[in-house]
A and B are shown apart, each in its own frame.
Chain A
């Protein structure tokens, strides 16, 4: 039998059911199969109307086509199916569902309509089922819960990525279901996520990619999610209202209810939060066909794109994270006032000291507001005990309450560019250049997601996440090909430090590169390079950084076929105009173990944004391997799709 917790139907009924579903109608049925004639009639009509092939049925059972072209549900929990082969047989599942409708419930909440209200409602409507000919039932728990949610309208929510955490660097999506109340915090959030107890990001990523976790849908008050993303993880959120009618949203909610405690394998790259959330939107309006528009990898921003193309997204509302709020408030203060605010948050100064500060009221408000938010951050980071927090927090709040509300214009901060303003996530680059006097043409492909030089609109500033990016050159003098780069992964996180936040910047990349070796000639090597360091905001609004690095190479051109060496890098990333980005960088590496090479490289790269899906890159670099010079200049046109 399927899962242990499944309500097992009497065997005879199951058997009858299979006979009914698959037998030739003219054959006599076994005597104990005294099936309700109304059920027989409904089942016949369902087949005649081809209900098992309808999109709604596919959506409600999460059926998708496999590589061999058969339908199979993405959900592998037997509890979700009423027919034994329901996962792969839509018709059997539909027949079983109709059959279950005729089973009188033994107690409140046991009936099909209580457990699978969306299926029940759809079949009832399609077949115009007469409820008086079905058993009487009660669904008190379902009615109470769904009634509490109300479900008038729905919102697609996108908490942006958190570059410092590989597990969430792409962001996330969830659904908010709004009722009649004006406040959204007390709305409910429908979410799909993996249940995990691993706190190590690498274990998480590994298991996540290969389906090692089980995913569950959940429904809980939205304020819990807001606190989690906005306050704890410091991720800005974008809220897109969906153009769905109230009956459609109610269907969505009914379907979420059906998914309660149903597990399915979670795959980080495709069957992830964002992919599975599309089923909820489709449950509201099946003809949208969202889940079959996705590619091999499904990123949250892509699901927003898919939903946007289908015309159901309104413009988003922006919800800045606590980190953004603190940075915004702090930006209003000079450095003395910033230090003062930090001292307040650390208890180095008493709130009453502000009276002697001689500062205008707006400064005091901003100083206290920054300190109050930061103290919350310190508690979340467990830098202080709850008792100590409570004391300091109340003292700051009491002082703050005496200053009245902040003037409306004090906190008018501009919104960052919207996620949908960003370039699409795959880039192809065509160009050419000259490397040490030899001309070449180049073809580049960056399947996912965003390089440091790509236009920042819609992405996190200072973050680079690339998977499987490759560059192939065609050398003009000898008509030969050269694999310049093939990186499996290339991540760079530059997070500026300020008086409040002291994050580390870091990088990790691995893959093939063509590099000048100790005699100055180009060779293909395999590398693993990682580093960590500091970044600060420059006075021009950009990011300046420095990192200590380690670089390990393997390649036949090296003296000992393998080498590892330390290095140091410096860089400045400046947005000179909305459409113009400049990256200046210098690095030095010393390979003595396994090689005799000192590699110094300086570069000046620029990117000119032409449109949302195209840009032009102009790249210069000069490197010295020992005393051998290599220069490279190239121009590349980038197209994003």
Chain B
């Protein structure tokens, strides 16, 4: 597997910890618990019944083919895939869940995006699950750290 991942992470000398003190304000919305729909969920049980659902156009951007992640600190330069960064930013909760559970579609997608050989995904998943605490180091963990940590673990 090391060989597989080497294409995207040859020398991950810089661990996530090096970034931890990065600009905090730049990392708003780059961590866990980031909701994409601030206005859509409603706690009121009555209004839940009469709430409108837009069937999907809640954002102002209708063509989000390459949505930016400029407000997030970027992972080490070896994983510069915009698709990967966008994906992890938008799906960090589900990625954490799948890693903890050892499988899932979000984890499969992550594995594909970082270039894991399909034959190696079971080992990749198991390794990440066993090292969950090394990837999601704290509740303030951000995008760049998660990606770097996961690749460090996978390559260890």
B149 interfacial by beta-carbon distance below 8 Å: no
Question: Which of B45, B91, B132 interacts with A504 by CB under 8 Å?
Answer: B45
Residues of A within 8 A of B97 (CB): 372-373, 376, 397
B156 interfacial by beta-carbon distance below 8 Å: no
Taking CB atoms and an 8 Å cut-off, the chain B residues in 105-145 that contact chain A are 105-106, 108-109, 112-113, 118, 125-126, 129-130, 132-133, 136, 138-140
Most chain B Cβ neighbours within 10 Å, of A194, A217, A394, A404: A394
A164 adjacent to B48 (CB under 8 Å)? yes
B130 adjacent to A232 (CB under 8 Å)? no
Instruction: Report B50 CB to chain A, min CB distance, Å.
Output: 4
Residues of B within 8 A of A148 (CB): 65-66, 83
Instruction: Report B34 CB to chain A, min CB distance, Å.
Output: 8
Most chain A Cβ neighbours within 10 Å, of B42, B63, B64, B125: B63
A260 with B112, Cβ < 8 A, contacts A165-B49, A199-B51, A379-B33 known: no
A186 adjacent to B62 (CB under 8 Å)? no
A387 adjacent to B52 (CB under 8 Å)? no
A221 adjacent to B87 (CB under 8 Å)? yes
A233 with B53, Cβ < 8 A, contacts A227-B91, A379-B35 known: yes
Residues of A within 8 A of B112 (CB): 181-183, 186
A202 with B31, Cβ < 8 A, contacts A145-B65, A182-B112, A216-B62 known: no
A219 with B65, Cβ < 8 A, contacts A186-B109, A393-B33, A401-B130 known: yes
Question: Which of A182, A216, A261, A391 interacts with B57 by CB under 8 Å?
Answer: A216
A398 with B54, Cβ < 8 A, contacts A223-B90, A224-B36 known: no
Residues of B within 8 A of A224 (CB): 36, 64, 90
Most chain A Cβ neighbours within 10 Å, of B32, B50, B52: B52
Question: Which of B56, B91, B129 interacts with A218 by CB under 8 Å?
Answer: B56
Residues of A within 8 A of B130 (CB): 401
Residues of A within 8 A of B41 (CB): 232, 380-382
Residues of B within 8 A of A174 (CB): 56
A201 interfacial by beta-carbon distance below 8 Å: yes
Report the separation of the CA atoms of residues A173 and B105 in the bound assembly, to the nearest whole angstrom. Answer: 22
A389 interfacial by beta-carbon distance below 8 Å: yes
A204 with B62, Cβ < 8 A, contacts A183-B105, A380-B35 known: no
A220 adjacent to B46 (CB under 8 Å)? no
Question: Which of A165, A185, A198, A406 interacts with B101 by CB under 8 Å?
Answer: A406
Residues of A within 8 A of B52 (CB): 165, 167, 196, 198-201, 203-204
B32 adjacent to A172 (CB under 8 Å)? no
Question: Which of B62, B67, B109 interacts with A217 by CB under 8 Å?
Answer: B62
Residues of A within 8 A of B54 (CB): 167, 193-196
A49 interfacial by beta-carbon distance below 8 Å: no
A201 adjacent to B63 (CB under 8 Å)? no
B36 adjacent to A227 (CB under 8 Å)? yes
Residues of A within 8 A of B63 (CB): 145, 218-220, 260-261
A191 adjacent to B56 (CB under 8 Å)? yes
A168 interfacial by beta-carbon distance below 8 Å: yes
- Over the window 26-41 of chain B, the binary record of Cβ atoms lying under 8 Å from chain A Cβ atoms (1 yes, 0 no) is 0000011111110111
A201 with B51, Cβ < 8 A, contacts A145-B66, A186-B113 known: yes
Report the separation of the CA atoms of residues A74 and B99 in the bound assembly, to the nearest whole angstrom. Answer: 47
Taking CB atoms and an 8 Å cut-off, the chain A residues in 368-407 that contact chain B are 369, 372-373, 376, 379-383, 386-387, 389-391, 393-394, 396-398, 400-401, 404-406
Q: Which residue of B lies closest to A201 (CB)?
A: B50
Residues of A within 8 A of B132 (CB): 397-398, 401
Residues of A within 8 A of B70 (CB): none
Q: Which residue of B lies closest to A506 (CB)?
A: B49
Residues of B within 8 A of A184 (CB): 105
B57 adjacent to A405 (CB under 8 Å)? no
Residues of A within 8 A of B36 (CB): 224, 227-228
Report the separation of the CA atoms of residues A217 and B55 in the bound assembly, to the nearest whole angstrom. Answer: 12
A227 adjacent to B57 (CB under 8 Å)? no
Taking CB atoms and an 8 Å cut-off, the chain B residues in 84-104 that contact chain A are 86-87, 90-91, 93-94, 96-97, 99-103
Residues of B within 8 A of A394 (CB): 32, 96, 136, 138-139
Most chain B Cβ neighbours within 10 Å, of A164, A216, A401: A401
A273 with B100, Cβ < 8 A, contacts A220-B63, A382-B43, A405-B129 known: no
A162 interfacial by beta-carbon distance below 8 Å: yes
Residues of B within 8 A of A (CB): 31-37, 39-43, 45-58, 61-67, 83, 86-87, 90-91, 93-94, 96-97, 99-103, 105-106, 108-109, 112-113, 118, 125-126, 129-130, 132-133, 136, 138-140
Given contacts A227-B94, A387-B33, A389-B32, 10 further A-B contacts (CB under 8 A): A145-B63, A164-B48, A183-B108, A185-B106, A220-B63, A223-B91, A260-B63, A393-B33, A397-B97, A406-B103
What would be 27 A-B contacts, judged by CB atoms less than 8 Å apart? A165-B53, A167-B53, A181-B112, A183-B113, A186-B109, A186-B113, A199-B47, A201-B50, A217-B62, A218-B56, A218-B64, A223-B90, A227-B36, A228-B58, A372-B100, A372-B101, A373-B97, A381-B42, A381-B43, A382-B42, A386-B35, A389-B32, A390-B31, A390-B33, A394-B139, A398-B100, A504-B45
